[in-house]
Structures are given as structure tokens and as C-alpha cells.
Amino acid sequence: MNITLKVWRQKGPNSLGAMETHKMTEVSGDMSFLEMMDVLNDRLVREGKEPFAFDHDCREGICGTCSMFINGEAHGPGRNVTTCQLHMRSFKDGETIHVEPWRSAAFPVIKDLTVDRSSFDRIIQAGGYVSVNTSGDTQDANSIPIPKHDADEAFDSATCIGCGACVATCKNSSAMLFVSAKVSQLSLLPQGKTESSERVLRMVDQMDIEGFGNCTNTGACEVECPKGISLTNIARMNREFLSSTLTSK
């Protein structure tokens, strides 16, 4: 199939960017979106031009490194897929595809389609952990009985890969889905529960400091999240933050 690409070109963090047009021919429907970008970059390099910088790592939908805002949606069309798992058969022959970086004050553009998502790391550093060392002399997993339902819920929250599509897609650039998934994953289990009240205060604090916007419950994040993280996580965090605020010393 033939595709017209309009890709965001931006030299560096402080330069102005613009869309650049490239025609692609003989694109196979079985290529992933990233493979199609590889073909474009390969051609650009052979023509002596600058390839597009974009993030990727595992290319199997588990690491959360790939990004790209494709045709007005984070990770492109299709639900529950990352850009690396998005295939060109999702597009029509002759289609024009717009490719942009995640756009948020808290995710500054590094170059072209790559953005700096270390604000997420700082939120995790603020409280997204269990303080006791759990590696090394590991306890038997069944010594603390955990109801299956709780374990499942915690697991669902833990599937968040930290890609930032929720922020990219939210009209307010809010990071609530990500932060609430991380808060929930820990507070749902006994190991994480003991620190849950302090954790939620710290993580929300850091989230605000990083300059993410405020949640207005549009629900766009839940729809675009490649891992199907649910809005119930946000409600849980709202609940935990409210009670922790009222009871914290």
C-alpha cells in the first residue's frame, strides 16, 4: 500500500518544530508501525538526510518505551495496543498519517518524536515502592494469604507499562491514570498497604510539582491506554488521598 506520512520534525528541546511530508510506497500491511518508520529512516539515511528520532525498545508491547501520537490518537487507532504492536493493516491504502510526539509540559520534546518522560520516574521515586527490601532472602509467597480477587486487581493495575499515553491523550495532560495505577498496585496488597497513606500524598504531590494537568474525568485515558487500566484506579486514588489528607499528622 501507499501512504503519505506527515511527521513532526524538531531539532531539539528549544527549537520550533513542524510537520514534514514523506511518501511511502510498497508498505506491507504486516509491518508494525515502527518497522514502517525504520524503512523511512533507512531511506533517509541512504539519501544522506537526518532520520527521525523515535523511542522503542522491546517491540512486543511490554516495555512502554514506544510512543507517538498517530492520526490524533495516542498509539494510533486500535484499542489496547502500543505503537510497536500497531500494524499497517490498520490503515487504508492512500491514507495520510500524522505522526506527532506526546505533547505535555511535563514531557518535553528531546528531538522529533522522542520526549523526556523522567517526570514519571520522579513520581515513582516519590513513593511508588515498598520500603522493606524484598529481594535476596525471599519469603515463601504463600506465607501471607491474599484473596484471589485482590491479587487479580493488583495485577491489573500493575500491568501499566508507564508509556504515558494517558498523559498524551488527556486534554489536560493529566497523569492521574498512571499515578493511580501505581498507587493501587501497591495499596491493594498487604506488603504495600502499611505505607499507603503516606505514599499517595507523596506521589500526588510530585505529580503536581511536575506540571501535569488536573483530571476532569473525560475518560479518554482509559480508552487509549494500551493496557486497559481502568478509571476505578483513579477513584481509588481520589479516595485514598482524601482520607490520607484528613488523617495525616
Indicate whether 75 belongs to the interface with ligand FES (CB under 6 A).
no
Smallest gap from Cβ 173 to ligand FES, in A, equals 21
Indicate whether 82 belongs to the interface with ligand FES (CB under 6 A).
yes
As a whole number of angstroms, the distance between CA 92 and CA 1 comes to 8
Alpha-carbon torsion, ordered 142, 146, 151, 153, to 10 deg: -170
Which residues lie closer than 8 Å to 194 by C-beta, 6 or more apart? none
- CB nearer to another protein: pick between 134 and 214: 214
Indicate whether 53 belongs to the interface with ligand FES (CB under 6 A).
no
What counts of helices (H) and strands (E) characterise the chain? Answer: 9, 7
Give the 3-state secondary structure of residue 111.
strand
Smallest gap from Cβ 136 to ligand FES, in A, equals 29
Applying the rule CB under 6 A, the residues between 142 and 201 that interact with ligand SF4 are 160-166, 177-178, 181
Neighbour tally for 235: CB within 10 Å: 13
Rg of the chain taking only CA atoms, in angstroms: 20
Cα distances (angstroms) measured from residue 181 to each of 51, 137, 155, 168, 214: 35, 28, 10, 16, 16
**Which residue type does 209 have?**
I
Indicate whether 65 belongs to the interface with ligand FES (CB under 6 A).
yes
As a whole number of angstroms, the distance between CA 178 and CA 121 comes to 11
Indicate whether 80 belongs to the interface with ligand FES (CB under 6 A).
no
List residues near another protein by CB under 8 A: 6, 8, 17, 19, 69, 71-73, 98, 100, 103-106, 169, 171-174, 198, 201-202, 204-205, 207-209, 211-220, 223-224, 231-232, 234-242, 245, 248
Indicate whether 76 belongs to the interface with ligand SF4 (CB under 6 A).
no
Smallest gap from Cβ 177 to ligand SF4, in A, equals 4
Smallest gap from Cβ 65 to ligand FES, in A, equals 5
Q: Of the ranges 59-67, 116-124, 212-220, 228-236, which one interacts with ligand FES (CB under 6 A)?
A: 59-67
Size of the residue set binding ligand FES (CB under 6 A): 12
As a whole number of angstroms, the distance between CA 16 and CA 10 comes to 6
Question: Which residues are near ligand FES by CB under 6 A?
Answer: 56-59, 61-66, 82, 84
